Amino acid sequence: MRKRLYRVLVALIGALMVLLVGSPVAAQATETPPPDATAIQVTLQDEANKDAQGNPKPIPGVTLEVSKDGKKAGEGVTDDKGVATIVVEELGKYTVTLDEKTLPEGTVLDEDTKDKVTVTVRFQGPNNRAIFPIGVTAGEQSSFVKDFAQNLRAGIVFALVLCLAGLGFSLIFGTTGLSNFAHGEMLTFGAVMALSFDQIFKTGGLASVSVILAGIVAVVLGGLGGYVQDKVLWGPLRRRGTGLIAMMIISIGLAIFLRYLFQYFYGSSTHSLSQYNGQQREQHWYYLGLSLADREAIIVAIAIVTITAVCVWMAKSRMGKAMRAVSDNPALAASSGLRVDGVITNAWVIGGALTALSGVLYAMQLQVNSFMGMRILLVILAAVTLGGLGTIWGALVGSMVIGLVYELGPLFGVPTSIKEIGPLLIMIVILLVRPQGILGRKERLG
Amino acid sequence: MDADMTDQTNAENNAEKNADMSKTGPAGLVGVSTEPGSKKPDPIVVADNITRTFGGLTAVDVDHVEIQRGAITALIGPNGAGKTTFFNLLTGFDQPNSGSWSLEGKSLKGVAPYKVARLGMVRTFQLTKVLAKLTVIENMRLGATGQKGERFWTAPFKFLWGNQEDEVTKKADELLARFLLDKKREDFAGSLSGGQRKLLEMARALMVDPELVMLDEPMAGVNPALKQSLLGHVKSLRDEGRTVLFVEHDMDMVRDISDWVIVMAQGKIVAEGTPDSVMADQRVIDAYLGAHHDTDLSELDEEALEAEVVAEIEEEEAK
Amino acid sequence: MDILDILRAALQQALGPQAIVFALAAIGLNIHFGYTGLLNFGQAGFVAVGAYGLAVSVVTFGAPFWLGIVMSLVAPLVLAVILGVPTLRLRADYLAIVTIAAAEVLRFVFGSVEMKETFGGSNGLNGYARPFQQANPYSSGIDLGIISFGRNDLWSLTVGWILVALCCLLVWALMRSPWGRVLRSIREDEDAVRSLGKNVFAYKMQALALGGVIGGLGGMFLALKQASVVPSDYSTLMTFYAFAALLLGGAARVLGPVVGSVLFWFLIAGLGSFFSQSAGKGGWIPTVIMTDTQASVIRYIVLGLAIMLLMIFRPQGIFGDRREIAIDGR
């Protein structure tokens, strides 16, 4: 057990080292935040013409015209960063027309790129984008490597987020045997709490650190949520001797209850955190050719530190060992004098906190939505099943594999619009050929 | 030789000495060698080279064994000797790593448990498996084989299986009466006591009309009053011409009803013989005394795997 | 507030097509879960292949209508075999995970842009239901005082409720037979059944296939009624709603799923109508507490809570007998 732990730790630290090799090079993008008004933003970059860091060159001085229902609604010219922000009055469908005559000499639109693009303005604010790919057709043949790097980056971030949620699931499953279908909602809980407190802190004059503070609060609340769940719901049920299948169905009820409760308060649209959200332009950092946005770098760092801490804690602390003992054999652990109920409560608290953290990071990477947890519940299940249900190290390895498969699958023939099926198919196959997972122990029969 | 003498005497005084007869029985085991794996005059089960390992632990390693037809054979041994595992292997509920075995000359290797049962080898379980949420009579009816109503296409049409169901019910009622469960007929099986469950399981096994009845610790958890009646039932199985193989801890019971005893220790067969000869056998005494582990095999196995974690906890606790 | 309006909305749904679809799905689940103890969390997948079996054969492959109907029965059968052969040997919760994943994979595939040629993408398929509509013998709708159904709905309802009745009859006949006894015994303890010479795997497979085909009938009915199939109808929520309906009515009872489904839609529609009248303009709940949009969500909050409370306090459902139902097993 211990050897396996060290192997996983070494692998993780190795991964961390790989990521940190090479000093970060800050890209040149420090700019004033765009105005708050609803606007369409166009960034023109020449993909065929890159600078030393591999950033495409911006194209300044291009005139763009925005129209709605044939009527002109606004006009803009790209600045020296290639960005034009054109304010519009209301939400709806707009057509952005690029004036080809104003393109600098030598720059032409790609064959497939038309000079008109339709944009649906769905959000208040300046984050509605019109995209004119320029200079990309030439690189089509060799783009696999680039796509691979890009998807790999997304895969690593997603895998780490998944890993935190998977760890939470595994802790709870390991100690209680419960396949918790409300686990996705525990993730959503972290995200929506971060969103709420972000807004409170932002308006309370803490705008510069509001997301970080909100994240911390959300994680604490996640832990508290786990505690409350155990004390109010699962603990009493356990003592009553309710069967696992019954509990599983109860968790489905809880999932539906929480999901729509979130929707009640946060609606069904998506929200962004005030900082570090995927919509903002930001610095990129370079690690071995992988360019990470500062937001992604933060997510990766927080996740790796947390995962390492949890692993060390599981290996070294008394409670961690007790937790593993209970996962392995509750009856034996109880007979050797462990307070199993206390261990389970701890698992709920830590599982809740980890899952909430995963929700916060996921909210930074994507956006906040009442249904976000439900959407990745099956992917989490796939990750922990792959590694071996209830084993901590299995959750780590399984999440890494599934996270990468999820993002890299499309490069290997998985249709992009349904990339979820990669992990699901892996899970099905794993359950069929090796139900105990890649790291799990074979269950004894009879 | 003492044991053999007793056998002969018993055979001569069969009619008069019922009590003694129960000790050794008329099962044609007179003069059979008491070496482990000895040949029987009329074996119903023959097993060769059966091994089963869990992780690094060898649970069963049987070179050769034969079970005499029409006799009551007891399988005894200390905890963790591999008796139940051997049972599971013979009945197809577990697969051995190697070996072959046969019932009535038909190889059972790789045969699914339900087919084994249909061939006439029916077992009960150490922890009784009555169907708690079915009534006693439904439990019994389930046991009958060859029911037309159990086939999907005929099941919806009662006129196709109604008569057969009546016959099955009649047979079930007779068995219930014999096992003194007729008063419980309409009760849910879950409401029965531990001993009644054992009785029900045995009665249900008889609904299959087995050649060979395999009882896994039929006396475990049964109160003394019921024990006597259970003993009677086991003996009556032999009187009907069935073969009985049972696993038991209760030495009194073994002495009381078995014709032949097979002793297992650490997965191997260490001795065989009539009850009296076996109880006097030094190897048997050694096997029992040598087994200071009062744990079951499953726990042993778990222990081997968990030892590390436990050690860590204890180490921590000691600090 | 208009109580008659609430009642009208509730009854319309409780007797309407939704209740029929979920009654059929829940009857299937009852065979799986209530009688055999198989935890199928992918019933939506069976319903979906039932619907798509019809639509794809007729629209994409140009098969005649009757062949579409046959395919709609065959497709769930095939799915049952594909899922069952490997998974029925696994533990109950593994079966649950495999089936829920399989159902989601199916939905993703049916809705994918890449397979649009075959399955119609997220807009689905239509234009296959004409023979069904043409067979409508009614010349006008029906007005029952509080509620009324149009001509087309009336025809759908007739067919739908007849299907439900036939399925109930079949389940009743099967479950009183020795075949049903074997299923219930498997739910209690597989090994005991094995030791008595029954081929447990074959029985589980038959149960999975039968329940799947009945679920597929639900899909076929939905496809006929709507005259279109859309992938988003077949999400995991469909499975969970069917489970809720089953638990409400009582598992392992012949009429449990039907009563449950009717009750389920009565409550969902009734609550929806109640809150939409209460909130927003003219309602008694101030908009600060509840807006119109929020009012449409609240019934699902209640639903989630109801599933939990039912499972905790009355796992046998409203009409079930606690001694007979085995959900609180391992």
DSSP string covering A171-195:
HHHHHH----TTHHHHHHHHHHHHH
Radius of gyration for the alpha carbons in chain C, expressed in angstroms and rounded? 20
C116, C111, C86: which is closest to C234 by C-alpha? C111
Q: At what angle do helices C256-278 and C3-15 cross, to 10 degrees?
A: 150
Q: State the CATH class of domain A39-135.
A: mainly beta
Dihedral sign of CA atoms A129, A135, A141, A147 in order: negative
C71, C40, C41, C14: which is closest to C223 by C-alpha? C71
CA angle A130, A135, A138 (to 5 degrees): 135
| Cα(C255)–Cα(A262) distance, integer angstroms | 35
Q: Alpha helix (H) ranges present in A270-371?
A: 294-316, 318-328, 330-335, 340-365
Q: Residue A368: beta bridge partners?
A: A271
Q: Considering CB atoms only, which of A318, A328, A444 is closest to B309?
A: A328
Structure tokens at B23: 């000790």
Q: Considering CB atoms only, which of C94, C115, C327 is closest to A435?
A: C94
Q: Please report the pLDDT score of residue A60 as a whole number.
A: 79
Q: Residue A63: beta bridge partners?
A: A77
CA–CA min distance A28, chain B (Å):
53
How high is the mean pLDDT of chain C? 89
Query: Is B93's CB within 8 Å of A446's CB?
Result: yes
Q: Please report the pLDDT score of residue B27 as a whole number.
A: 58
Contacts of residue B202, Cβ cutoff 8 Å, sequence gap at least 6: B124, B179, B213, B215, B218, B230, B233
The answer, yes or no, to whether residue B25 has pLDDT greater than 60, is no
Which has the higher per-residue pLDDT, C174 or C279?
C174
| Strand segments (E) across chain C | 125-126, 142-143, 148-149, 228-229
Task: Give the range with max mean pLDDT: B101-115, B172-186, B247-261, C160-174.
Answer: C160-174
Average pLDDT over residues C124-148: 88
The answer, yes or no, to whether residue B271 has pLDDT greater than 80, is yes
Contacts of residue C328, Cβ cutoff 8 Å, sequence gap at least 6: A241, A242, A243, A246, C315
Average pLDDT over residues B207-212: 92
Q: Given the structure tokens 């084989």, which residue do they identify? A: B145
A381 touches chain C (CB under 8 A): yes
Task: Give the range with max mean pLDDT: A63-77, C174-188, C301-315.
Answer: C174-188
The amino acid at B67: I
A273 touches chain B (CB under 8 A): no
pLDDT band at C44 (very low <50, low <70, confident <90, very high): very high
| Cα(C155)–Cα(C142) distance, integer angstroms | 10
CB B128 within 8 A of CB B201: yes
Query: Is B313's CB within 8 Å of A445's CB?
Result: no
| Cα(C79)–Cα(C74) distance, integer angstroms | 9
Q: Please report the pLDDT score of residue B277 as a whole number.
A: 85
Q: State the CATH class of domain B2-12+20-41+49-84+212-312.
A: alpha beta
Q: Considering CB atoms only, which of B91, B131, B161 is closest to C192?
A: B131
| Cα(A268)–Cα(A120) distance, integer angstroms | 18
Residue of C170, C177, C201, C204 to mutate for B, most B C-beta atoms under 10 A = C177
| Cα(B103)–Cα(B67) distance, integer angstroms | 10
Q: Please report the pLDDT score of residue A292 as a whole number.
A: 72
Q: Please report the pLDDT score of residue A29 as a whole number.
A: 37
Q: Residue A95: beta bridge partners?
A: A67, A118
| Strand segments (E) across C43-140 | 125-126
C315 CB neighbours in chain A (<8 A) are: 246
Query: Is A1's CB within 8 Å of B310's CB?
Result: no
Structure tokens at B10: 């018993």
C191 CB neighbours in chain B (<8 A) are: 93, 113, 125, 129
| Cα(A430)–Cα(C280) distance, integer angstroms | 50
A102 touches chain B (CB under 8 A): no
CA distances from A317 to A6, A306, A311, A323, B294 (A): 15, 15, 10, 10, 32
| Cα(B28)–Cα(B35) distance, integer angstroms | 17
Domain positions in chain A are: 39-135, 145-433
Structure tokens at A411: 């490069």
Q: Alpha helix (H) ranges present in A45-182?
A: 143-176
| Cα(B264)–Cα(B241) distance, integer angstroms | 26
CA angle A51, A52, A56 (to 5 degrees): 30
Q: Residue C148: beta bridge partners?
A: C143
Strands B72-76 and B243-247: parallel
Q: Considering CB atoms only, which of C177, C191, C210 is closest to B129?
A: C191
C51-90 per-position pLDDT tens digit = 999 999 999 999 999 999 999 999 999 999 998 888 887 7
Helix (H) or strand (E) holding B214: strand B212-216
The answer, yes or no, to whether residue B310 has pLDDT greater than 70, is no
Least confident of A209-213, A314-318, B54-58, B206-210: B54-58
CA distances from B169 to B132, C108, C275 (A): 19, 51, 56
Query: Is C104's CB within 8 Å of A424's CB?
Result: yes
CA–CA min distance C165, chain B (Å):
15
Q: Please report the pLDDT score of residue B303 as a whole number.
A: 43
Count CA atoms within 13 Å of residue A181 on its CB side: 26
Structure tokens at C195: 């030791």
Contacts of residue A287, Cβ cutoff 8 Å, sequence gap at least 6: A18, A19, A20, A21, A22, A24
* Phi, psi (degrees; rounded to nearest 5) at A406: -60, -45
Domain positions in chain B are: 2-12+20-41+49-84+212-312, 131-191
pLDDT band at B195 (very low <50, low <70, confident <90, very high): confident
Q: How many residues does chain B have?
A: 319
Burial of residue B303 (number of CB atoms within 10 Å: 0-12, 13-18, 19+): middle
CB A276 within 8 A of CB A43: no
What is the percent of chain C where pLDDT is above 90? 53
Q: Given the structure tokens 């009915």, which residue do they identify? A: C221
Query: Is A418's CB within 8 Å of C307's CB?
Result: no
A442 touches chain B (CB under 8 A): no
B317 CB neighbours in chain A (<8 A) are: 337
- Would you give the distance in Å from CA A172 to the centre of its chain? 21
CB C217 within 8 A of CB C113: no
| Cα(A175)–Cα(A350) distance, integer angstroms | 12
Residue of B90, B108, B114, B138 to mutate for C, most C C-beta atoms under 10 A = B114
The amino acid at C130: R
| Cα(A342)–Cα(A339) distance, integer angstroms | 5
Query: Is A260's CB within 8 Å of C330's CB?
Result: no
Structure tokens at A384: 């922990």
| Cα(C54)–Cα(C127) distance, integer angstroms | 11
Residue of B127, B142, B202, B206 to mutate for C, most C C-beta atoms under 10 A = B142
- DSSP summary character for residue C176: T
Please state which of the four CATH numbers 3.30.310, 1.10.3720, 1.10.3470, 1.20.1440 is assigned to the domain occupying C3-135+148-313.
1.10.3470
Which CATH number is associated with domain A145-433?
A: 1.10.3470
| Cα(B69)–Cα(B259) distance, integer angstroms | 11
- DSSP summary character for residue B56: T
Dihedral sign of CA atoms A257, A260, A264, A270 in order: positive
C313 CB neighbours in chain A (<8 A) are: none
Task: Count the neighbouring beta carbons within 10 Å of the beta carbon of residue C232.
Answer: 12
- DSSP summary character for residue C34: I
Least confident of A47-56, B274-283, C43-52, C173-182: A47-56
CB A95 within 8 A of CB A67: yes
Least confident of A69-83, B211-225, B235-249: A69-83
Q: What share of chain C is helix, strand, coil (3-state, %, to 5)?
A: 70, 0, 25
Residue C200: closest C-alpha in chain B: B114
| Cα(C258)–Cα(C319) distance, integer angstroms | 12
Residues of B with CB under 8 A from a CB of C: 91, 93, 112-115, 117-118, 122-125, 129-134, 138, 141-143, 145, 147, 149-152, 155-158, 161, 165, 188, 190, 204-205, 207-208
Q: Which regions of chain A are under pLDDT 50? A: 1, 16-35, 136-142, 279, 442-446
Q: How many residues does chain C have?
A: 330
Contacts of residue B189, Cβ cutoff 8 Å, sequence gap at least 6: B130, B131, B132, B133, B134, B135, B136, B139, B197, B200
| Cα(C202)–Cα(C179) distance, integer angstroms | 11
Contacts of residue A239, Cβ cutoff 8 Å, sequence gap at least 6: none
Size of interface B-C (CB pairs under 8 A): 105
